[in-house]
Amino acid sequence: LKAKKSDLKSWKKIVSTIQHLDGKVDIGIVGKYTDLKDAYISIVESLNHGGYYFKKNINLTWINAELVEESCPQNNILFNVDGILVPYGYGARGINGKINAIKFAREKKIPFLGICLGMQCAVIEFGRNVLDLDDANSTEFDPDTGNPVIDLTREQKNAEDMGGTMRLGSYKCRLKVGSRAYKAYKKKVVYERHRHRYELNNDYRDRLEKAGLIITGINPDKNLAEIVEIKDHPWFVAVQFHPEFKS
C-alpha cells in the first residue's frame, strides 16, 4: 500500500506547547505510596495534561500521609502549594494523615481534589469536624464505628462471597446544574471509571448537605453519591471515580 503523507500538525502543536509553558502550579499529593511514585502514574500524567492545556508547568510535592498523622508537621509544605490532592488507596495506614491534610485544605481555603479514597476521607473529615461526629469513619477501617459515614451497600453486605462485588468499570453520573463539577464538564451526564467497594452512606446524606457538603454527582441507577463539593470554598471537590483514567 502506498503510504499517505504524514500529518504531524497536532503533534507539533503539542510539542511547541510543552516547550513554551509559562509559570507553574504547585500541587501537593498526600498519599500512602509516595516512595513509589509510579503508583500514581495516571494522576501524574493527567495533571501534566492539564498543565499543557493551561500552558503551565506542574510541580508536584510528594507528601507521605503517615507524616501528617498527628500534628500536621508538614503544614509549612501544605501552605506552600496551590492545591492539595488526596488520591486513591486501600487500608487504614496513613488515613488520619490524609484526613488532617483535607481538614487543612478545607479550613485554609486551599483548592482540594479527592479521588476515590480521597473522597471517602473528605466525607469522614467533614463528619468528624463539621457534624461533630467524633467517631465518623469507614467500616473498612472500623467495622464497629457508631457513625459509618462510609459503608458497604446493603447489597454487598448480603453477599456471601465478596469476589466480584466491586463497583468496577464505567458508570453513569448525573451532575447538578450549576455545580463546580457541572461547570468543569460542561454537561449534565458523564461516564467515569470506578474501582472500589465502599460508598458514601445514604443515611448521612441529608445531614452532610445541610451542613454544607453538597452532593453534586449521583449515579441514578443505584442512587449512589459520585461527587461532593463545598460551596463556600475556592475549590473543594471530591469524586468517587477515577477521572485521571480519561484525561
- Give the Å distances, CA to CA, from 7 to 1, 4, 11, 20: 18, 9, 9, 22
Answer for the pair 69, 105: CB distance below 8 angstroms, yes or no.
Answer: no
* Model pLDDT, residue 77: 80
- What per-residue confidence (pLDDT) applies to 164? 60
User: Catalytic residues, which ones?
Assistant: 116, 242, 244
Amino acid 48: pLDDT: 97
CATH number belonging to the domain at 21-151+198-216+225-246, selected among 3.40.50.880, 3.40.250.10, 3.30.1330.40, 2.60.40.10: 3.40.50.880
Distance CA 1, CA 60 (A): 46
pLDDT value, residue 1: 81
Average confidence (pLDDT) per 10 residues, the chain, 247 residues: 90 95 96 92 97 97 86 70 96 93 95 98 98 97 97 77 76 98 97 95 98 98 97 97 94
Q: Rounded to whole angstroms, how far apart are CA atoms 156 and 146?
A: 19
Inter-axis angle of helices 9-19 and 41-53, nearest 10: 90
Nearest to 109 by CA among 81, 72, 87: 81
Delimit the domains of the chain by residue range: 21-151+198-216+225-246
Burial of 72 (0-12, 13-18, 19+ CB in 10 A): middle
CA pair distance 228, 224, nearest whole angstrom: 11
Q: Is the dihedral of CA 122, 166, 94, 140 positive or negative?
A: positive
* Predicted local distance difference test score (pLDDT) of residue 155: 75
